[in-house]
Amino acid sequence: MPLSVLVVEHDPLLRETLLFMLDAQGYIAAGVESTARALQVLQGVRVNVLLMSLAQCDLEGPQTLRIAKTLQPTLKVIVASGSGARTSTHPAIDLVVRKPFSMEEIRDALVQVLTIKQA
């Protein structure tokens, strides 16, 4: 069964680019523009990975991630960050990818968190 990724990205061009890449990699991918919409989706649809920008995590992020993990405890979270950090102290974040990122880096990040999930 294909794995699913929910992309939370306010920039429509970047969101569509990520969705196209994920689809080409064989993932079931959906995109939303806000964390509020992401939580609505997570209430009704099982998702393997949540991929979101740290910029969106700054304001509502900690609460959003806490709720997301409550809704779906096995959910893996990848955050894209413009800062130099490659790790996060937030317990709900499984992996940080530095911006600007390549599509290969996103693919590798997905493989890494999904391998962790299956272990």
Going from the N-terminus, what domains does the chain have, and what CATH number goes with each? 4-118 (3.40.50.2300)
The predicted model scores a pTM of 0.87
- Angle between the 12-24 and 103-118 helix axes, to the nearest 10 degrees? 60
Q: What is the DSSP string of the chain?
A: ---EEEEE-S-HHHHHHHHHHHHHTT-EEEEESSHHHHHHHHHHS--SEEEEEHHHHHHHHHHHHHHHHHH-TT-EEEEEESSS-S--S-TT--EEEESS--HHHHHHHHHHHHHHHH-
Q: With a cut of 80, say whether residue 86 has pLDDT above it.
A: no
pLDDT in tens, 23-72: 999 999 999 999 999 999 999 999 999 999 866 555 567 788 889 999 99
